[in-house]
Structure 1
Amino acid sequence: MQLTNTARAVSRAFDAALAAAGGSLPTWQVLLALKTRSTANQRELAAAVGIQGATLTHHLNGMEADGLLTRRRDPANRRVHLVELTDEGEAAFRRLRDVAVAHDRRLRAGLDDRELEVVRGVLARMLANVTEGTTAGDHS
């Protein structure tokens, strides 16, 4: 329960920080995914961001209306839309990146390198515990 409560509080704090800077978590995720590749199609973005296609389309529509990105048909495959950041999208990325960095600093405040390594190890083990093929109670 403590992990769930902590995750919720951390998530709410990050959402609030992004909102104060004019962003949201889905916007940040899309901007970050586009920043790591110069152009992406919507299927690649959905996979990178972990958002279903229809939900991603909704977010992309809003971001395009806000001038953060453009979409165009792929000349090699007219069924595919290529997504690219605009100059305004680049500026939004930098603004939200600063928010993400500040949020990360806030989370790590008062923790030394050894403690952070322990936290990373514990979180990695917990993730593995819930994502591995079998669970501790599954003996079939």
Structure 2
Amino acid sequence: MTSSAPPSGPPATPIGFLLNQTSKLVGRAFDQALAEAGGSLPTWLVLLSLMQGGHRAQVELAEAVGVTGPTLTHHLNGLEAQGLIVRKRDPANRRLHQVVLTDEGRATFLRLRKAAAAFDLRLREGISPEEEGVLRAVLGRLRVNARGDEAA
């Protein structure tokens, strides 16, 4: 026979709170790993997007990275000053700028990718492939629930 009485003892910590705290901790640790490799999260996101998509218009790049145009411009100014990217006028539309990786930008991307891969291995330490699969499924469900989507 099962009881419908509420569980005794202190209430469990809400999953959203635990997830938020874990996200902040993981984010800070990832930022540190990138910094130790000579980069930052914005640098990583821009270089990763450019490596995946080739030359990109600034508008497309801002959307891919998930920032506003002015925020991206700020990051691109820094990356250009470091010699990691160049901005060129789009020949088809002179009002637009294409963002292009330099050789130094590609080298920096490879260095940061190595740091990101090492961080990912560290993060997954002690987690079996089965647990990782469950984690990915649960995180996907949480994303759907947080957005309020109807379909899974």
1:10 partnered with 2:26: yes
1:35 to 51, 54, 66: 51
- Paired amino acid for 1:127: R
Runs of 4+ in 1 over 2 A off after TM superposition: none
CA distance in 2, matches of 1:19, 1:121: 30
Query: Does the residue aligned with 1:83 lie in a helix, a strand or coil?
Result: strand
Q: Deviations over 1:15-40 (max 9, x none)?
A: 01111111100100000000012210
Q: CA deviation at 1:94?
A: 0.1
CA distance in 1, matches of 2:149, 2:124: 32
1:73 partnered with 2:73: no
> Could you say which residue in structure 2 is the equivalent of 1:107?
123
CA distance in 2, matches of 1:112, 1:54: 42
* Aligned positions of 1:1-140 closer than 5 A: 1-133=17-149
- State the Cα RMSD in Å: 0.9
- How many aligned residue pairs are there? 134
Q: Deviations over 1:86-129 (max 9, x none)?
A: 00000000000001101110111111111001100110000000
Unaligned stretches of 5+ residues in structure 2: 1-16
Question: Which structure has the larger Rg over C-alpha atoms?
Answer: 2
The TM-score normalised by the length of structure 2 is 0.86
Q: CA deviation at 1:75?
A: 1.1
Unaligned stretches of 5+ residues in structure 1: 135-140
